[in-house]
Amino acid sequence: MKKHFLLDPEITFLNHGSFGACPKPVFDIYQKWQCKLEERPIEFLGRRAISLLAESREKLAEYLHCCAEDLVYFPNPTTAMNMVVRNLDLQAGDEVLTTDHEYGALDRTWRYFCEKSGAHYVQRHIPLPVTTHADFVDHFWQGVTPKTKIIFLSHITSTTALIFPVTDICKRAREAGILCIVDGAHAPAQIDLDIEDVGADIYVGACHK
């Protein structure tokens, strides 16, 4: 695969999760767009960008199986999740149920906003190795109480690359009237993602990981 990247051939690059190297064809195309912007900055940013972004949203929505109107671009998943959490109406005593496999920056975001509002951030311990999807859901669900308002968990975890059964969790959450927010930072293009099928209330992803 190395020939498809601009990576120094002397290194073995394994971390496409933090700052993934860009494949050459993608790099070439985004450089072309940058040049177009430089040719006519005002026209590009003031007019063309709006229709180009709408077009790209249509394409991305098709790829991810969701509605283009439901897609919003952010600089990265951390910014997107901060926007989401900041706008939730968390109340004192509410519970946010999560796992102890969540990504550090988002873990801290949830903890911060829960502390601020008096909500409880409940981290369910997920022992390794995991067994079946059904066992995972049963075990995780033992953390749900009548005060659980929100479930937040990763689709693919950053530390272990485990794929959590988010579709099953979202289904159960919907039946229980609990909002389900999924961190899918690693999912687009890595697995065959169908966002409608996942059924999350909010799904945050990235196309560069």
Ligand X SMILES: Cc1ncc(COP(=O)(O)O)c(C=O)c1O
Residues that bind ligand X (CB under 6 A): 17-18, 76-78, 103, 105-106, 154, 158, 183, 185-186, 206
Q: Which is nearer to ligand X, 139 or 208 (CB)?
A: 208
Q: Choose among 177, 171, 152: nearest CA to 97.
A: 152
Q: How far is the CB of 50 from ligand X (least distance, A)?
A: 24
- Give backbone dihedrals phi and psi of 105, rounded to 5 degrees, phi first: -65, -35
**How near is the Cβ of 188 to ligand X at its closest, in Å?**
12
Closer residue to ligand X, CB minimum distance, 81 or 119: 81
Question: Which CB sits closer to ligand X, 185 or 195?
Answer: 185
Q: Closer to ligand X by CB, 105 or 179: give it.
A: 105
Nearest distance in Å: CB 42, ligand X: 30
Judge contact between 29 and 40, C-beta under 8 A. Answer: no
Q: Measured at CB, which residue is nearest to ligand X?
A: 158
Minimum separation from the CB atom of position 35 to ligand X (A) = 25
Closer CB to ligand X, 16 or 36, in the complex: 16
Dist CA 159 CA 156 (whole Å): 9
Q: How far is CA 109 from CA 4, 79, 105, 151, 171, in A?
A: 36, 10, 6, 14, 25
Instruction: Describe the strand order of the beta sheet including 95-99 as a list of residue ranges.
Output: 120-124, 95-99, 148-154, 179-184, 202-205
How far apart are CB 19 and ligand X at their closest, in Å?
8
Q: How many CB atoms lie within 10 A of CB 110?
A: 23
